[in-house]
Structure 1
Amino acid sequence: MSIALLLPSPVMTQKPSSITSPPRGFGSSSSRLLQVSCVTKNPSRNNNVTCNNFRPIKEVNNQITHTIPQEKLEIFKSMENWAETTLLPYLKPVEDSWQPQDFLPAPETDDAFYDQVREIRERTREIPDDYFVVLVGDMITEEALPTYQTTLNTLDGVKDETGGSLSPWAVWIRAWTAEENRHGDLLNKYLYLCGRVDMRHVERTIQYLIGSGMDSKFENNPYNGFIYTSFQERATFISHGNTARLATTYGDTTLAKICGTIAADEKRHETAYTKIVEKLFELDPDGTVQALASMMKKRITMPAHLMHDGRDDQLFDHYAAVAQRIGVYTAADYAGILEFLLRRWKVESLGSGLSGEGRRAQEYLCTLPQRIKRLEERASDRVKHITWTQGVSGKCYSSEIRKQGLMFSLELGLCVASETTSYSIALTYCIMYSGLLGWDCTINVWDTNEFTSELSVPGKKRKGNNQAEESQLEREAETTLVGHTQCVSPVVWSEHDVVYSCSWDHSVRRWDVETGKDSLNLTTVVTENFVA
């Protein structure tokens, strides 16, 4: 897998001067044009197949529709007067609203325009690549606005039935869309002017994303829809607020003002959506708390989770991982948003009117933030306490090794070497927008001289029906590798009759199928136990 998500163009053809130091070009600033370009081999899809018609790269399956009963729809009909007087005032008049051009060079002034563009390029020249990864990801998310309006208009009871309906729900959806439209426009133009981004690649990613849609898990149910938008608007408020803070740190006050202005819009929209759910808790606490628990069990994924550039199946996860690492949007933020909403909606103090199912939903929700936080803290601690032992020549890499596609690891990449072969282990710290916490391992075997991967296998391998024989060998390896505790599904390198395996204790073994002997034993030491 080659990972170059908006990072300098890869130089993987270069040989490393030594295995204990990254190859020349790692972290290099010589190439300032950034690309969204990732290559992932996916055996389930032939990437060379062309089609005359567009079809989504990622398919959304097992979708459930129209789950809200008729009596619940009547609640939204009864709320129309409330929406007219309480919801619509959160929309700003167009004449009082900011526009993207307020922050950009005026194109009608020749000399001043070119001077201002040069200033933008000068200010953004030394901003770190990782920041632009996140900023472009944010912009792509905002540019997929047609998907979000379409999705809101699938909600029973509140959708725009005609395309120009005057119901307060329909007016809100259209006007909210109009306000949000400025966000993508502004970020897109600023990124275009700064010259740091391969805009055609970005534009292709936007087209893929809009064409793919989103898996909202709303079930056409407005309870689910407004819970989701409450959460998502606060998430984007936090994300844009943090990009504003970082832009200030990097010395681009104009970019900081842009991101801060967008964040203020998101905060206003968050307030409006949370008021809708607050009203639902007032009118139907039992149904609303169950809907909230249901959405949290399904996990709130960000609207651009189907992001794709035509090459990388995991593009959104890569973008989200960088956002986590630089502190723009983290697992702690996910838990914090949930805590905030539970307090705002007074979920803990819901009274005796709840059904048995409602009380169980309440209990689940009130304990969920702390469970998420504990997992995040334990995972963070584990990253801090990993070292190499066994006297093996080794090197611990961080962000530089990720930039050139040796491995993808959010926090840590470990590499050891012999004279001819290096073994790299990606310890992937999985904390994405979905709030999922966990670890995974990937073993890469590299030819040191050629610097090409002979084997790249995930520690958790999906076994199909045609892999029964390999699965048997893997089971034998798991029981034979003495001391290899909590083994994570070993994987077979069938061409060489070798099984590689990695485990939660971060040891890596190579097991010879013919002799049944362990010919490689690399171990890391963790000073604290970790139980996910």
Structure 2
Amino acid sequence: MTISTPNQLELLRELEPTVESGLNQHLSIAKDWHPHDYVPWDEGRNFAALGGDDWAPEQSRLSEVATAAMITNLLTEDNLPSYHREITASFSREGAWGTWVNRWTAEENRHGIVMRDFLTVTRSVDPVRLEEMRMAHMTTGLTSPMDGSFLHSVSYVTFQELATRLSHRNTGQACADADAERMLDRIAADENLHMVFYRTLAGAALDLTPDAAMDAITEVVIRFQMPGLSMPDFRRNALLLATHGIYDLRQHLDDVLWPVLRMWKVFDRNDFTAVGERARDRLADHLEELSRKAVRFEETRERLRAREGARA
């Protein structure tokens, strides 16, 4: 059965008041901050090209896990030009839509600025390797695995912003460094506000066109991938982060997917036709499978930790 839905232009027109209201609310509560205020500049010194010393591993005060998490989070932020392109294509450059997209991009850009400055000044990671990875990641870029429609895009960014918030906050704790945690908490606060904007917008779309939005949400959840998938060493680092509780399947399910789905009242709604009901049933089945996978991963992780503890 074909899903009946307004076309893209009709959706953007109908939802523009929601965008304008959300933008005004965001601007009223978002706090301006400056990247330079979060970098311990007094720790900085020249590298060899300016007569100092180049990076050496013993200069880093971060653990292997914290280093992998920092690099993964920074490279994810670095790919902002791709995200801007994708979201502009799905939204609009006109009116409140364009104002939001540009404001969101400007706020997101601060995240990459402050993280790179922090890591370079504190010599927490190899700056040469970091630049090589940035070049490789941005050259590959990002192309959405979805169809590029507005409904898919707004559903995806809602979940992704919340996932990124969680990853930043957990990374800050893993760093065991007060300055790093303060910086990443500041970034996470931005990501949370961005999530709230997109969650509200997607919720309005769900009210406007329930069947089509439910189908898009289901497809996004089933096919969800973090935007850093194409970066060098991503799979290795993702496994490392999952193993040490920075971002794992249980957190993805319990702290990202379920809070948003409950806010949208996905499983309490009665405004779907048979098409929307089928999409919701697919979603429910997928969530149950994710829960089973999370349990299996947690059991495997506990066995691994037990073996490591016995060896220690």
Aligned equivalents of 2:163, 2:275: Cα separation in 1: 28
Q: Deviations over 1:181-213 (max 9, x none)?
A: 000110101111122322122112112211212
User: In the alignment, which residue of structure 2 is the partner of 1:76?
Assistant: 12
Query: Relative to 1, partners in 2 of residues 1:204 and 1:68: Cα closer, same or farther, differing over 3 Å?
Result: farther
Higher strand share: 1
User: In the alignment, which residue of structure 2 is the partner of 1:332?
Assistant: 250
1:154 aligns with 2:79: no
* DSSP-derived class of the 1:236 partner: helix
Equivalent AA in structure 2 for residue 159 of structure 1: S
Aligned equivalents of 1:200, 1:226: Cα separation in 2: 36
Q: Deviations over 1:329-385 (max 9, x none)?
A: 11111112111111010001111x322221011122234333212222124325656
Calculate the aligned-residue CA RMSD, in Å: 2.7
Higher helix share: 2
1:350 aligns with 2:269: yes
Query: Relative to 1, partners in 2 of residues 1:218 and 1:114: Cα closer, same or farther, differing over 3 Å?
Result: closer
Please report how far the alpha carbon of residue 285 of structure 1 lies from its aligned counterpart in structure 2 after TM superposition. 1.2
What are the residue-to-residue correspondences of 1:81-160 with 2, within 5 Å?
Answer: 81-91=17-27, 96-105=31-40, 125-155=60-90, 158-160=91-93
Equivalent AA in structure 2 for residue 86 of structure 1: G
* DSSP-derived class of the 2:287 partner: helix
Aligned equivalents of 2:227, 2:44: Cα separation in 1: 36
Higher mean displacement: 336-345 or 359-368: 359-368
Aligned equivalents of 1:242, 1:278: Cα separation in 2: 27
Please report how far the alpha carbon of residue 93 of structure 1 lies from its aligned counterpart in structure 2 after TM superposition. 8.9
1:370 aligns with 2:288: yes
The count of corresponding residues between Structure 1 and Structure 2 is: 294
1:227 aligns with 2:163: no
Higher mean displacement: 374-383 or 238-247: 374-383
Query: Relative to 1, partners in 2 of residues 1:145 and 1:72: Cα closer, same or farther, differing over 3 Å?
Result: closer
8 Å Cα contact 2:61-2:124 kept in structure 1: no
Q: Deviations over 1:99-146 (max 9, x none)?
A: 11111245xxxxx5769xxxxx9xx84431221111111111111111
Structure 2 gap ranges (5+): 46-55
Aligned equivalents of 1:377, 1:113: Cα separation in 2: 43
User: In the alignment, which residue of structure 1 is the partner of 2:198?
Assistant: 273
Query: Relative to 1, partners in 2 of residues 1:136 and 1:68: Cα closer, same or farther, differing over 3 Å?
Result: farther
8 Å Cα contact 1:224-1:291 kept in structure 2: yes
Q: Deviations over 1:50-80 (max 9, x none)?
A: xxxxxxxxxxxxxxxxx99763530221221
Q: Deviations over 1:280-331 (max 9, x none)?
A: 111111111111112223x2111121113xxxxxx21111111111211111
Q: Deviations over 1:443-482 (max 9, x none)?
A: xxxxxxxxxxxxxxxxxxxxxxxxxxxxxxxxxxxxxxxx
Q: Deviations over 1:148-167 (max 9, x none)?
A: 10111221xx222xxxx4x1
User: In the alignment, which residue of structure 2 is the partner of 1:200?
Assistant: 128
User: In the alignment, which residue of structure 1 is the partner of 2:211?
Assistant: 286
Task: Mark the structure with the bigger radius of gyration.
Answer: 1
Structure 1 gap ranges (5+): 1-66, 107-111, 116-120, 309-314, 387-395, 401-532
Equivalent AA in structure 2 for residue 201 of structure 1: R
User: In the alignment, which residue of structure 1 is the partner of 2:229?
Assistant: 305
User: In the alignment, which residue of structure 1 is the partner of 2:139?
Assistant: 211
Aligned equivalents of 1:239, 1:231: Cα separation in 2: 12
1:190 aligns with 2:118: yes
Aligned equivalents of 1:129, 1:381: Cα separation in 2: 23
8 Å Cα contact 2:43-2:122 kept in structure 1: no
Equivalent AA in structure 1 for residue 296 of structure 2: R
- The one of the two structures with greater contact order (alpha-carbon pairs below 8 A, sep at least 6) is 2
* DSSP-derived class of the 1:154 partner: helix
8 Å Cα contact 2:40-2:118 kept in structure 1: no
* DSSP-derived class of the 1:77 partner: helix
Equivalent AA in structure 1 for residue 225 of structure 2: T
8 Å Cα contact 1:91-1:175 kept in structure 2: no
Aligned equivalents of 1:74, 1:153: Cα separation in 2: 16
User: In the alignment, which residue of structure 1 is the partner of 2:48?
Assistant: none
Aligned equivalents of 1:347, 1:69: Cα separation in 2: 18
Aligned equivalents of 1:382, 1:98: Cα separation in 2: 42
What are the residue-to-residue correspondences of 1:224-263 with 2, within 5 Å?
Answer: 224-247=152-175, 250=176, 252-263=177-188
User: In the alignment, which residue of structure 2 is the partner of 1:424?
Assistant: none
8 Å Cα contact 2:60-2:124 kept in structure 1: yes
